[in-house]
């Protein structure tokens, strides 16, 4: 059984807002849904499958289908944090391949910026029923210091440097200068990054992604539906998903669940990392990208620092153009969940609809990869291999 070639992404929409004080969360979900359906040339009445995650308000999927007035045959509310939407694309392809739906809608929205949420710097309390909380919350784990411990260990084992990590931000900023919706459009240098204030050592302010309101949506359809639409065809040819955690205390911060989801996706697609023309890689922090690139097989474990240095991720300059919208580091990180925008920019690249300054020539094969949760404790990775037909 495989999902290879069983479904197509025909609609993709990123909300232009980065601060949505006057919009309700449900409204944002509905606006991105409408945007993606219009992009595909479909209407809400065509939708028979809906996918959303923990960012949906109220009773999640049920509240949103009520708000939007959807009539469905299939619903899936898989929650793996920021990677949820990457995994939803794979689940939509599975559902379509089994005849459970033909037109799947996936939405994400969030308002951490307008609500003043200290996304990365305030310890998150997941509630007393969460079995880990008593053994972690007293020590004030935050998103930033969690990823910082991964960076520190990577530096220790492999000699990775802050300057190498900075190149990831530099590449993202080179792309963001061409995105009028990006929160941070100024091109930065390695010195700018390493001289920005230390947040959680060794991560600096510019190693961290933006906090933004907004959202995005995708429409995944069966081949016979895609054939009738007047849009470039982006076919799903491989997918992998995997969790990783503390393994009962056998903690290893040097790799992520991408070490499992990546090879599974490449195997299903029958392609190699070296075949990939464009990569969307979740960039909650610079270290997130570096570890994912290694785990996906773009370079050997430990060689990520050398791989990302000297502009290798800059479109038109390096060998692996990444996050050409500016990514979470510069453009958008709606709802603190970066998986959705990773898929959207990969679709733009495969359609040839990225900004001309960052569009990859003959971009016919791309990867979109996300991690959700926290690399330092519990997370899940999702990897998609997409091709232009």
Partner 1 sequence: MTENRTIPAPHIEEETRPFWDGIRDGKLLVKYCRTCEAPHYYPRSLCPHCGSEDTYFKESDGRAHIYSFSVFHAAPIPYAIAYVTLAGTDISMMTNIVNCDFDSLEIGQEVKVCFVETEGEGPPVPMFEPA
- Residue 226 is a binding residue for partner 1 (CB under 8 A): no
Peptide bond into 202 cis (omega under 30): yes
Q: Which stretch binds partner 1 (CB under 8 A): 11-19, 49-57, 108-116, 134-142?
A: 134-142
- Residue 247 is a binding residue for partner 1 (CB under 8 A): yes
Q: Which stretch binds partner 1 (CB under 8 A): 66-74, 249-257, 277-285, 355-363?
A: 249-257
Q: Which stretch binds partner 1 (CB under 8 A): 8-16, 198-206, 256-264, 356-364?
A: 198-206
3-state DSSP call for residue 14? strand
Residue 207 or 325: the one with the smaller Cβ distance to partner 1 is: 207
Binding residue for partner 1, selected from 248, 274, 356, 361, defined by CB under 8 A: 248
Q: Which stretch binds partner 1 (CB under 8 A): 64-72, 133-141, 185-193, 363-371?
A: 133-141
Distance CA 255, CA 133 (A): 23
Torsion over CA of 207, 211, 215 and 220, rounded to 10 degrees? 20
List C-alpha distances in Å: 216 to 26, 51, 52.
Answer: 13, 12, 11
- Residue 234 is a binding residue for partner 1 (CB under 8 A): no
Min dist CB 285 to partner 1, Å, is 12
Min dist CB 191 to partner 1, Å, is 19
Distance CA 314, CA 308 (A): 9
Torsion over CA of 335, 311, 325 and 355, rounded to 10 degrees? 180
Q: Answer yes or no: are the C-beta atoms of 181 and 18 closer than 8 Å.
A: yes
Q: What is the DSSP string of 133-153?
A: GGGTGGG---HHHHHHHHHHH
- Residue 137 is a binding residue for partner 1 (CB under 8 A): yes
- Residue 255 is a binding residue for partner 1 (CB under 8 A): no
- Residue 251 is a binding residue for partner 1 (CB under 8 A): yes
Please name which of 108, 33, 9, 3 lies closest in space to residue 366, comparing C-alpha atoms. 9
Question: Within 138-167, which residues bind partner 1 (CB under 8 A)?
Answer: 138-142, 144-146, 148-150, 152-153, 156
Give the interface with partner 1 as residue ranges (CB under 8 A): 121, 125, 128, 131-142, 144-146, 148-150, 152-153, 156, 197-203, 246-251, 253, 377
């Amino acid at each position: 059984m495989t999902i290879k070639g069983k479904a197509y992404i025909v609609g993709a929409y990123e909300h232009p807002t980065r601060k949505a004080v006057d919009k309700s969360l449900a409204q944002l979900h509905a606006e991105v849904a409408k945007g993606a359906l219009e992009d595909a040339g479909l209407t809400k009445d065509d939708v028979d499958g809906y996918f959303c995650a923990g960012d949906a308000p109220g009773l999640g999927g049920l509240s949103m289908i009520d708000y939007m007035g959807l009539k469905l045959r299939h619903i899936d509310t898989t929650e793996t944090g920021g990677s949820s939407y990457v995994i939803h694309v794979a689940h939509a392809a599975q559902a379509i391949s089994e005849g459970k739906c033909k037109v799947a809608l996936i939405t994400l929205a969030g308002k951490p910026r307008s609500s003043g949420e200290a996304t990365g710097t305030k310890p998150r309390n997941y509630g007393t029923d969460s079995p880990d909380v008593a053994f972690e919350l007293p020590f004030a784990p935050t998103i930033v210091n969690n990823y910082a411990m991964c960076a520190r260990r990577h530096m220790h084992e492999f000699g990775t440097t802050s300057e190498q990590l900075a190149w990831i931000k530099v590449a993202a900023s080179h792309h963001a200068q061409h995105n009028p919706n990006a929160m941070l459009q100024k091109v930065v240098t390695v010195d700018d990054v390493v001289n920005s204030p230390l947040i959680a050592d060794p991560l600096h302010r510019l190693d961290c992604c933006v906090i933004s309101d907004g959202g995005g949506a995708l429409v995944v359809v069966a081949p016979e539906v895609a054939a009738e639409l007047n849009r470039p065809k982006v076919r799903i040819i491989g997918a992998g998903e995997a969790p990783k955690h503390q393994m009962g205390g056998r903690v290893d911060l040097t790799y992520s669940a991408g070490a499992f989801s990546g090879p599974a996706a490449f195997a299903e697609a029958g392609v190699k990392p070296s075949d990939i023309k464009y990569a969307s890689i979740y960039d909650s922090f610079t270290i997130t990208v570096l570890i994912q690139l290694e785990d996906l097989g773009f370079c050997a474990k430990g060689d990520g620092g050398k791989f990302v240095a000297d502009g290798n991720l800059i479109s038109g300059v390096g060998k692996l153009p990444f996050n050409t919208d500016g990514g979470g580091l510069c453009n958008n990180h709606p709802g603190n969940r970066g998986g959705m925008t990773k898929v959207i920019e990969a679709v733009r690249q495969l359609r040839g609809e990225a900004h001309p300054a960052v569009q990859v020539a003959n971009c016919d094969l791309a990867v979109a990869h996300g991690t959700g949760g926290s690399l330092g404790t519990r997370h899940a990775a999702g990897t998609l291999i997409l091709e232009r037909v």
